[in-house]
Amino acid sequence: MISEQIILIGALLLFISIIISKTSHRLGIPSLLVFLFIGMLAGSEGIGGIYFDDPVVAQFIGIVALVFILFSGGLDTKWTDVKPVLWKGVTLSTAGVVITTLTVGLFINWITGFSLTESLLMGAIVSSTDAAAVFSIFRSQKCGLKNKLEQLLELESGTNDPMAYFMTTTLIFLILNPTTSIGSMVLLLIQSIGLGVIIGVISGKGMIKIINNIKLHVDGLYPVFTIALAFLTFSVSHFLGGNGFLSVYIAALILGNSYFENKDIQLQFFDGMALLMQIIMFLALGLLVFPSQIIPVMGIGLVISFFLMLVARPLAVFLCLTPFKVPLKDKTFVSWVGIRGAVPIIFATYPIVSSISGGQMIFNLVFFITITSALLQGSTINVLAQYLGLTSNKTKE
């Protein structure tokens, strides 16, 4: 009976999440908030009473979901759209993450009792953005953006998660091994990004040849086979010392801009899987949260959230995009669209799993910051875009 109950509860949560998310689109609220709140309501302190307190399982679900989401994002990204904004996006996803990490970390260290390294860790965890939330709003409003801002934000979100992951895991390692030198950390960064790119390129080109030549006897096996290749790419890159998330995104980008067997069917399949993984990931993270533990950190959480939205993110964007002579209104908009999503919450489980002192406090703060960012920024994106004259009436195909 336990198995049947789990299936019933899971089906109900998925059903309710998808139905309610339709309403959230009309209100301009990112779907992630809906899924998170449903998870919280179903959790141990909600009306559902489902007890879930296993950050290791939540982290595993998050990693699997991220591989699907990044792979799907890479498949859907057209190189012709990305190429004009390539260096802007790369700069935002690398230097922008570092600037955000340092700025937020120093601020947290100044106003709280966290050590400098722990403060920088929290800054790294909240340094990546979630464009999926942004685009879900624009698609629901039949609204596009001028000046290739959508492509810039999409590229940034697809490539800043790997950098934030590296910063997070490196700072955790530094906390657990305080004698580690800065030089070795820099070399590790070069290795992580370098191998991540190399393995991603090799995997992407290899996927094209393998998928087109394997000649499977059932068409339905092609998406399954591609899933295996995606996770092999992630795992091989990770175990060789590269950044697995970056490898997956690059491999998918190369594959998606080439011909391969059953391409249209596979693109639709991975779009659906990415959405399913987002829902499952948000629900799991919502179940993991204990609302009673969030209330005590709301005050300091609001201060950090406003600093992140009004100071750290704009500073990173203006420093990164000014050399490219980007118009002021474009930089202002990109600054405000730095919505935090599921990735920071997933990364916030790492300090807990690593048994770092204050790990639970970090998780609670990051969760509240994410909700605040998604609610305030997500609900005002269209208004700001229209005010700045950056909207396009052309429906995005």
Question: Could you tell me the two tokens for 81?
Answer: 């759209």
The residue behind tokens 């179940």 is 287
Here the CATH number for the domain that contains residue 165 is: 1.20.1530.20
CA 143, 146, 152: angle at the middle one, nearest 5?
100
- Which residues form the domain of 257? 2-392
Assess contact for 33 and 372: CB atoms under 8 A.
no
**Residue 331 falls within a domain, yes or no?**
yes
Buried b / exposed e over 202-231, threshold 16 CB at 10 Å, is: bbbebbbeebeeeeeeeeeebbebbbebbb
Residue 395's pLDDT is what? 46
127-152 pLDDT, tens digit each: 988 766 665 655 555 557 788 888 88
**Residue 281 falls within a domain, yes or no?**
yes
Rounded percentage of the chain residues whose pLDDT exceeds 70 = 92
**Residue 397 falls within a domain, yes or no?**
no
**Residue 371 falls within a domain, yes or no?**
yes
172-222 pLDDT, tens digit each: 988 988 877 778 888 888 899 899 999 999 999 999 999 999 888 888 899
Residue 135's pLDDT is what? 57
Q: Is the pLDDT of residue 396 over 50?
A: no
Pick from 38-52, 192-206, 248-262, 286-300: least confident:
38-52
What is the torsional sign of CA 280, 285, 289, 294? negative
Assess contact for 55 and 349: CB atoms under 8 A.
yes
Q: Is the pLDDT of residue 294 over 50?
A: yes
59-100 pLDDT, tens digit each: 999 899 989 988 998 898 888 888 899 999 999 999 999 999
Q: For the chain, what is the domain count? A: 1
Residue 348's pLDDT is what? 92
d(CA 265, CA 214): 17
Q: Is the pLDDT of residue 227 over 80?
A: yes
Residue 218's pLDDT is what? 87
> What own/partner pairs with CB < 8 Å and gap ≥ 24 does 46-50 have?
46/291, 48/9, 50/9, 50/287
Q: What are phi and psi of 391, to 5 degrees?
A: -85, 150
**Residue 156 falls within a domain, yes or no?**
yes
**Residue 212 falls within a domain, yes or no?**
yes
DSSP per-residue codes, 212-245: HHS--SSTTHHHHHHHHHHHHHHHHHHHTTS-HH
